[in-house]
Amino acid sequence: MIFTTKAEYGVRLLVELGRQSSESPVSLKAIAESEGLPLAYLERIVALLKRADLVESTRGAHGGYRLARSADTITMDEAVVALEGSVAPMACFVDDSDDGRVLCSHVEDGETCATKFLWLRVQGGVNDALRRTTLAELVDFSSRQAVPAGASPLGAALPIHTAA
């Protein structure tokens, strides 16, 4: 399953807003410059986040964007669904409802796809990880990860949650 740049840039935008004070809005131009992201694309992305009530905007000379609610109440499943739509591990999965569920569309002679069980588990695992991850955790993680310019943050250790 590959997420597009909408999810990547949208989450980066949310993290940047989470780093800022919720009292004063931040201009999209400032975020685009600090994150090295294209402003025109961020304008389309922030519209999706605004429609999902994750961010709010203020017009005017000192306007901009801020989180619509506290970072510890925003989960990544909300953000990803707002940006990408339903999370589907395979192209044969189709959107079945408004709750982000997708179902396998393969049916052969009245039998469902032999691999459906696997892909449903993959989808469930991804959705569970997104649901358990808050924006506040990402903001905290990003502030602890002082990555030198040009270095890849991918080498940084990620906390792993295991079922007890």
Q: What is the domain count for the chain?
A: 2
Cα 110 to Cα 113, 116, 121, 144: the distances in Å are 10, 14, 22, 53
99 and 117 part of one domain: yes
pTM value is 0.77
Residues 63-117 have pLDDT tens digits of 899 999 999 999 999 999 999 987 777 766 665 555 545 556 666 665 667 777 7
> What would the two tokens of residue 41 be?
């694309």
Task: With respect to residue 104, please indicate whether it lies within any of the assigned structural domains.
Answer: yes
21 and 70 part of one domain: yes
122 and 141 part of one domain: no
24 and 70 part of one domain: yes
Residues 131-151 have pLDDT tens digits of 999 999 999 998 886 555 555
